[in-house]
Structure 1
């Protein structure tokens, strides 16, 4: 048995980098499906706090799911490389030709995630430029998917091999610990009653934008949520699922610093939760530019209170806001 000398995925939590690999290969803790909201600090959560735990979750149909890859560096030096992620329907033998063309992309649309890792360090996907991997799986009945992770470095370019028989496949899976597998289940849970996509383009000036979900005549007990998988805003542009408690008017929001020329697809979701919509029902997503008292646009805006911006995101000092647009769901 030999020790791997590069960046590697664990096959299980006790894996220390020895190969040929033995034991089960279908549940790597370093391929981490983690739901429909991104993790705020992936390094803190997946490496510092939970390196010795498998924190993966079921995939949800009808949503883009965030999937993280993490790895250890046994190269004896600082190392750079790329993570790749693929999917396949379940099979007893996952020959590479089953999955080599079924690439899962990152939030910024790349086929891979570029990483750098220190000597003897650990690394996880998920930054504010590339994001991490996202995938919207189709529902699969009485079956599951398999996710396949692949690591490429200059020392181990790790091309996907042509594997034509059982013996060559066995050699491949036993001696390539810069690959990993994980079986995942897709569940149909918390499916929104209605989801609407809307595009946003920032233009050539960066700005702090308040993104609002304005609910009018939405019944108590219904819920709303806003998601955006495009990286680049600080923080990530997501409003967690929120329950309506005021049936007349209620606003939920988040403040994001949006860089110049940023473009993204926002998706806002409505969950009826068995409650029928009332007369005058609508849900609107609104971007609002907020200006401090010294800004030349301050005098043209309305007070944040008048715009219904929640107290917890108004900030300190006098400010006004200018509503930049809106897109709404009406009664369906």
Structure 2
């Protein structure tokens, strides 16, 4: 038996069957399930946190108004309940399961980092049932439990990354940078929520994230780390620093630099090898003295610089992103062909 929206008419979301062929999780609130996906790739609104169990998740999170809402995912101290939903973009009824995973914040969410960290339901299950007719939203029938006393973070300056998976397909094994880009931008059966909120009134932002390259990647790479500011006031300051040198004995460092407008991009370029393990700290200071409005954001993107001999393969996979190439060129890094492999976003919340 298939389920549909509760209370609201479903046809508002019809017409997605020609895009992603299956139950998909959006990469951001504006996603229509089209491929390749459109950035941001890390703001899945279909992972929802609650401090108490929800009696009827389908009725609560399956309405059109809820579908158009992005909920916070940062856990409260103690037990938290997470619900996952998706939209059936196929022409057949969906009756399957969804799982939810977590990891301490990472720049690039390679599956090897999170696949062994599933959240379980209160009854100990790794998956929850989801049913949806074509063009309809389905919500997992039960919540996944995260207890901050059990699934704890390594330090107070990091945050939780969440990954939801439609279990119709197995978790992929990633053996190349282009495969990671394809996972991030085209595999909508997996949804990434790699977002932290902050209130600049409370002081500077310091966010620590893992930067770990699995050996399975099997190839060295040149990466761009770019920070894009939206709505942040001119005169505020951003910076990025790693805790170790790269294999070429280069520092991962973007010296503190002041933004020059409400739409601003800065970045660095580094070389990494398989097995490289580091962490990076991103910092923001409200040095302009003007508090940015709620919803303003800072996004740290990791882009793979595609070697010329791999252009054809990248083009065939549909992972080349000209917008990032243009942004890099404007900062004197390019012109280069790049493919997105990771994103983290820091969003300003309203001051309490």
Give the alignment's TM-score, normalised by structure 1: 0.50
Give the alignment's TM-score, normalised by structure 2: 0.47
